Structure 1
Amino acid sequence: MQRFFGSKKAPLRLAAVPRDHVEGDRRKGEAIKSGVLLFGDQRLGLADLDFAAIGTQTPIARHLQSFAWLRDLSEVASREHGAPLVEAVVGRWLVAHGTRPDEAWAPHLWGERLLFWTAYAPYLLSSQDSGYRAALLNTLARGARHVDAQADRADPGIDRITAWSGLTAAALCVEGAVPRIARAEAGLMRALAQGQFEDGGLMSRSPHEQLLLVDRLGLVRAAYFAAKQDLPDALDAAAAAALSALHGVTMGDGKLASWQGGHPGLLRDINAVVEGCGMRARPLRQARGWGYQRLSALGTIVSLDAAPPPLPAMAHAGSASTLAIEIADGDQRIVVSCGGPGLGTTRMPRELIEALRSTAAHSTLTVDDSNSTAIMPDGKLGRGVTDVAIDRIEDNDASRIVASHDGYARRYGLIHERRLALGNDGKLITGEDKLEARGRKKIKDAVPFALRFHLAPGIEITPTADGLGAILRSENAPAWNFRCRGAMLTIEESLHVDGRGTPQPSQQLVIVGETSRHGTDIAWQFRRSS
């Protein structure tokens, strides 16, 4: 295979070191200084580190292998004080994995490693040991050549984009590799085209992965600037679109909507990436591919999942959440999805994680206690929603959306249509959910339905005397009054996974009834009291 970097005669060296503007986590950095790597609720001692034994299968092992933790260490330790610790860890990595390709050479792991090895090269290459320095740089070059050959074998989406992002950064930063930049760029743009919708959102439709995408592309941009190379317009546009899509699923508290098995995340982590990525963008409001429609007015935000679940090839575990909503009043969440573990570690049992992917775990309508898109025993998504029709209108009074999906058409001959309107003063949200008969399939008898609105933890519910409404009180927002007609309102227990991935008890409003073969119609509204 042709040598990826430089010539065989000249020693390898870095010609540029990107500046990572994303602030690390000082708490995690202090832990690393004391010899402990933290990731979620897991801890890993660094004093007697055995990379071969740790492997790559657990989230904390992959975090260790990626070297993304260098960002946290840099917040609390200068190069002078941090380099000895980093060199000790890298030395152990070279012994365990540096001689031949193994599981640690997965292209997405190498891609992330290249991004952080180049950005934090001073911490890795301060040693006076020329043998160590040569071994590290030669392994970096071998890793880049490996990614060059294997990147397109990574899973499409964030993994493949990460692999090509790392290779692009390496081509920009290693002396003599400039002729290889065009090939790396082409691979990265191809990976983006295969994994990112034109509106900027990832095809996995995961807000947590979208945050990673913005971070990856921010590091690539930093590599271009460090190398004094022109950033391709197409790459710059893709990065800006990615940030806009991320903003589109950010609620009033600055955290993420809980779509596709995710949770709100930690504000510090989200702000660090958004503020440090080097880009600015407005929230994406009308997303077709990404699929999340955003309504906002004077502090009130409504997020609507208006697309089919992601294809199995693009997501390991999608959710049956089509036409679900989330509502926030400023930094107070009102209506939520139950959420899930996201990309981190979790102690939740597998049965609960699978249940959180169901339609019933989202704020939308279910028919006969079934999912709008089937979740198979092996965890993959089956038949269900294939088409979502959507129409959006903005006028002087409100923003309005009419959307429908065919997830119940095959089994019950019913189309679910949801109408939403947010008044321009942000005080009134009106909705209407319809089940309309369509196609040859006809139900013989009445079929039960449930229209759920999961509420954020801490919201106090006071039912109205007529049983058709409730007053919702919270600490951080005025009271909201809920009303419905067309079915009976009940209050049930629920849960919401918080930003640390921990389930918290909550409640839900549930409108229950039966639909005939001719369909049904349920109207509802949320009105802010002041």
Structure 2
Amino acid sequence: MEGAPETGSARKSSALAGGPPSRARGARGRGKRTKGVFLKALGAAIKGNVEREWFGSPPHRAAISRPRPVGLAAHPHDPRPVDPERGRQLLDGLMVLDGGALRLGETGDPFDQPSPTRQFAAALHGFDWLPHLLAAGPGSARLALRLLQDWRRVFGTWNVFSWSGERLERRTFHLACAAKALAPEASDAEIAAMALDIARGARQLLKASDAPGRKLERAVVVAIAGCALTGKVSDRLMVQGLKRVSALLDATVLPDGGHASRSPQAGLELLFDLLTLDDALGQRGRPAPEGLGRAIDRLSSSVRFFTLADGCLAAFQGGEAVEPRRIAAALAHDDHGPRPPQAAPHVGYQKMQGGSLQVMADAGPPAVGALSAAACAQPAAVEIVFGKDRLITSCGWSPEATGANAFRLSDAASTVSVGDGSAGRPLSGWRAEALGPWLIDGATEVEVKRHDADVGVWLDIIHDGWRRLGLTHARRLYLDIKADELRGEDSLLPVGSANPDGPRRYLPFSVTFHLHPDARASLARDGKSVLIKGPSNVGWWLRNDAVDVHIAPSAHFDHGHARRAGAIVLKSQVRPEKGAKIRWKLARAADH
């Protein structure tokens, strides 16, 4: 699959293991990559314009409408948890989605009035409200059928926003899962309309090229749609969808269960979809494609690996800290799965477990190409948990927080930043419109060394994310199990053949520790040490040898909404020709 990252251990370059390339060679390489992105964006822009014109044309609309499906068959079960209260609110005339709320009244049409936010509109057209509504009890099916008719009247023919991206994918998925439950309350005409909506959505997913990073997810939805229908349409969609699923599974689900995008949340959501597909195929008596069971097992193990001691998912690479209820629902099929390892080298993460501290470290390069649309330029970032207290985290940015691409940069995670730059950046302008907000110029070479002993765990991460400044970042972590403390050393090392006796040039650099919104920090009288406390009120001292220390305001995203948080910033300066370092230690404060 295009953009699938190599494993961290496999991507050791001469720059890290044997001798760095010169700056001139690095500049030429960056120039080639920039030209390559430009040409891909140009091609995608031309193709996108042609597709939009064609997809809205009568011949195409007729093509995806024929042959018509005969009726409904399977009732695929989506294991994602639902919130009946949201459904009851909708029955009372209030539609609540992650992007806000909209008052509808008894007969209001949400599709014929402005949405409060773009996020709300995406969830609305993705039919995210449908499973919650069906769980609300009497009257829900009738209201759902009316809302489907409202959508069909306004957007059922064609609309660029509603018929593209994850809106189309999720809408087709939710309809396929809900149609059989709605059928007892529906007329023959309404059943035929639902079946046609599912078939048209699945056929469009097979033809559109607007989400190349979600090829597997789209193929899974096509196969589920085929299971939900009957007749030749059903057989054709199942064959086409399962053929693509088989071809894409191993490229997307890595050997350690990580998703090729490196987002823990993306792996969790894919697991839900694959479980739904497995259930639908079982209902239809169809054999699952080779590799489906293996992918489910691997993803389940990966979800366990990424679940931290506070019960939530690690928030890295465009994934949020998903709540325990959702994680439990994904793992309910396999309650007694094997204990996950402490390392996931293929997807590029390392976990360290001490007496009471737990550390998760990003130890791989960000995804590239189409898979990098939500990737973050935050190499060697860490999250630190004490018991149920998540103390140190990142800003938790995800694509739900639309328009906040600054939170994908280095200083939005608990890692090192140099100057006012970042170890990678998302595309912007027309290139982002054509390709999506791919991450470019990120770290490409990451070397990881780990040593486990009875007394503690050593972890060394070295990456080239700051190569344009002639620097390599080396983060050394030691988790002392007996002392129950974490020691860290962040070094910026010169690369290339710079003259250490040349003109002096200093750059500011910082080591940032983002606090979880439920954690608080206070600066000690010495102006250097920082006391951190989580909800349990247990204190932890962060001591360091930085030149300057301060606590700055920050933000942390939950479901795309920013919560107020803080960040501890350790500051110093680096001369690229000589390098520099900051040492720090997190140790439990004495009980008062």
Bin of the TM-score, shorter chain as denominator length: 0.7 to 0.9
Superposed counterparts of 1:70-89, under 5 Å = 70-78=130-138, 81-89=139-147
Shift of 1:302: 0.7
Shift of 1:396: 1.9
Q: Secondary structure at the match of 1:225?
A: helix
Shift of 1:234: 0.6
Contact 1:329 1:477 in 2 (8 A): no
Deviations 1:416-456 (A, max 9, x none): 11111223458121212222222124574233322222223
Q: Secondary structure at the match of 1:28?
A: helix
Shift of 1:315: 3.0
Instruction: Indicate the residue corresponding to 2:300 in structure 1.
Output: 243
Given the alignment of the two structures, is residue 62 of structure 1 paired with residue 134 of structure 2, yes or no?
A: no
Measured at CA, do residues 95 and 425 of structure 1 come closer, stay the same or move farther in structure 2, by a change above 3 Å? farther
Measured at CA, do residues 465 and 117 of structure 1 come closer, stay the same or move farther in structure 2, by a change above 3 Å? closer
Q: Which moved more, 1:509-518 or 1:221-230?
A: 509-518
d(CA) in 1 for partners of 2:157 and 2:329? 35
Q: Secondary structure at the match of 1:125?
A: helix
d(CA) in 2 for partners of 1:483 and 1:248? 29
| Equivalent position to 1:367, from 414, 418, 422 | 418
Measured at CA, do residues 145 and 493 of structure 1 come closer, stay the same or move farther in structure 2, by a change above 3 Å? closer
Shift of 1:134: 2.1
Contact 1:367 1:448 in 2 (8 A): yes
Instruction: Indicate the residue corresponding to 2:266 in structure 1.
Output: 209
d(CA) in 2 for partners of 1:459 and 1:7? 58
Shift of 1:133: 1.9
d(CA) in 2 for partners of 1:45 and 1:271? 32
| Equivalent position to 2:539, from 464, 467, 479 | 479
Shift of 1:40: 1.8
Instruction: Indicate the residue corresponding to 1:139 in structure 2.
Output: 197
Instruction: Indicate the residue corresponding to 1:344 in structure 2.
Output: 400
Deviations 1:204-242 (A, max 9, x none): 333343332222222212212322333334112222323
d(CA) in 1 for partners of 2:277 and 2:334? 10
Measured at CA, do residues 513 and 104 of structure 1 come closer, stay the same or move farther in structure 2, by a change above 3 Å? closer
Deviations 1:243-279 (A, max 9, x none): 3333333332222333235543444444444447999
Measured at CA, do residues 323 and 330 of structure 1 come closer, stay the same or move farther in structure 2, by a change above 3 Å? same
Shift of 1:139: 3.4
Q: Secondary structure at the match of 1:141?
A: helix
Contact 2:520 2:566 in 1 (8 A): no
d(CA) in 1 for partners of 2:252 and 2:473? 29
Q: Which moved more, 1:220-229 or 1:84-93?
A: 220-229
Measured at CA, do residues 321 and 86 of structure 1 come closer, stay the same or move farther in structure 2, by a change above 3 Å? same
Contact 1:215 1:277 in 2 (8 A): no
Deviations 1:170-211 (A, max 9, x none): 222323434753432121233444544443333333334333
Deviations 1:13-45 (A, max 9, x none): 223212333330133122222233221242234
d(CA) in 1 for partners of 2:341 and 2:418? 31
| Equivalent position to 2:578, from 507, 518, 521 | 518
Superposition TM-score, scaled by structure 1 size: 0.85
Superposition TM-score, scaled by structure 2 size: 0.77
d(CA) in 2 for partners of 1:135 and 1:268? 34
Superposed counterparts of 1:106-505, under 5 Å = 106=164, 108-127=166-185, 129-148=187-206, 150=207, 153-157=209-213, 159-176=214-231, 177-178=234-235, 181-275=238-332, 280=337, 282-283=339-340, 285-340=342-397, 342-344=398-400, 350=403, 353-374=404-425, 378=429, 381-411=439-469, 413-424=470-481, 427-441=484-498, 444-445=503-504, 446-464=506-524, 467-476=527-536, 478-485=538-545, 487-500=546-559, 501-505=561-565
Measured at CA, do residues 118 and 462 of structure 1 come closer, stay the same or move farther in structure 2, by a change above 3 Å? closer
Measured at CA, do residues 143 and 409 of structure 1 come closer, stay the same or move farther in structure 2, by a change above 3 Å? closer
Given the alignment of the two structures, is residue 13 of structure 1 paired with residue 80 of structure 2, yes or no?
A: no
Measured at CA, do residues 102 and 457 of structure 1 come closer, stay the same or move farther in structure 2, by a change above 3 Å? closer
Shift of 1:479: 1.8
Contact 1:374 1:383 in 2 (8 A): yes
Q: Which moved more, 1:97-106 or 1:476-485?
A: 97-106
Contact 2:311 2:323 in 1 (8 A): no
Measured at CA, do residues 190 and 68 of structure 1 come closer, stay the same or move farther in structure 2, by a change above 3 Å? farther
Letter in 1 for 2:418: V
Letter in 2 for 1:130: D
d(CA) in 2 for partners of 1:400 and 1:505? 30
Size of the aligned set, in residue pairs, is 515
d(CA) in 2 for partners of 1:507 and 1:289? 30
Q: Secondary structure at the match of 2:460?
A: strand
Letter in 2 for 1:422: L
Deviations 1:131-151 (A, max 9, x none): 222232233333333334x15
Q: Secondary structure at the match of 2:344?
A: coil
Greater helix fraction, Structure 1 or Structure 2: 2
Q: Which moved more, 1:302-311 or 1:39-48?
A: 39-48
Contact 2:543 2:585 in 1 (8 A): yes
Shift of 1:57: 9.4
Measured at CA, do residues 516 and 345 of structure 1 come closer, stay the same or move farther in structure 2, by a change above 3 Å? closer
Given the alignment of the two structures, is residue 24 of structure 1 paired with residue 82 of structure 2, yes or no?
A: yes
d(CA) in 2 for partners of 1:135 and 1:376? 40
Q: Percent identity?
A: 26
d(CA) in 1 for partners of 2:274 and 2:64? 22
d(CA) in 2 for partners of 1:182 and 1:277? 28
Measured at CA, do residues 57 and 283 of structure 1 come closer, stay the same or move farther in structure 2, by a change above 3 Å? farther
Q: Secondary structure at the match of 2:88?
A: helix
Q: Which moved more, 1:11-20 or 1:327-336?
A: 11-20
Contact 1:195 1:314 in 2 (8 A): no
Measured at CA, do residues 139 and 381 of structure 1 come closer, stay the same or move farther in structure 2, by a change above 3 Å? closer
Q: Which moved more, 1:48-57 or 1:259-268?
A: 48-57
Letter in 2 for 1:366: S
d(CA) in 1 for partners of 2:520 and 2:161? 50
Q: Secondary structure at the match of 1:30?
A: helix
Q: Secondary structure at the match of 1:104?
A: coil
Q: Secondary structure at the match of 1:12?
A: coil
Letter in 1 for 2:135: E
d(CA) in 2 for partners of 1:263 and 1:323? 17
Shift of 1:92: 2.1
Measured at CA, do residues 100 and 526 of structure 1 come closer, stay the same or move farther in structure 2, by a change above 3 Å? closer
Measured at CA, do residues 317 and 4 of structure 1 come closer, stay the same or move farther in structure 2, by a change above 3 Å? closer
d(CA) in 2 for partners of 1:52 and 1:191? 38
d(CA) in 2 for partners of 1:141 and 1:384? 40
Deviations 1:276-298 (A, max 9, x none): 79995644642334322222234
Instruction: Indicate the residue corresponding to 2:3 in structure 1.
Output: none
d(CA) in 2 for partners of 1:97 and 1:279? 45
Q: Secondary structure at the match of 2:298?
A: helix
d(CA) in 2 for partners of 1:356 and 1:523? 25
Shift of 1:322: 0.5
Q: Secondary structure at the match of 1:113?
A: helix
d(CA) in 2 for partners of 1:426 and 1:119? 52
Letter in 2 for 1:527: A
d(CA) in 2 for partners of 1:299 and 1:268? 23
Q: Which moved more, 1:360-369 or 1:94-103?
A: 94-103
Letter in 2 for 1:419: R
| Equivalent position to 1:33, from 88, 91, 95 | 91
Instruction: Indicate the residue corresponding to 1:92 in structure 2.
Output: 150
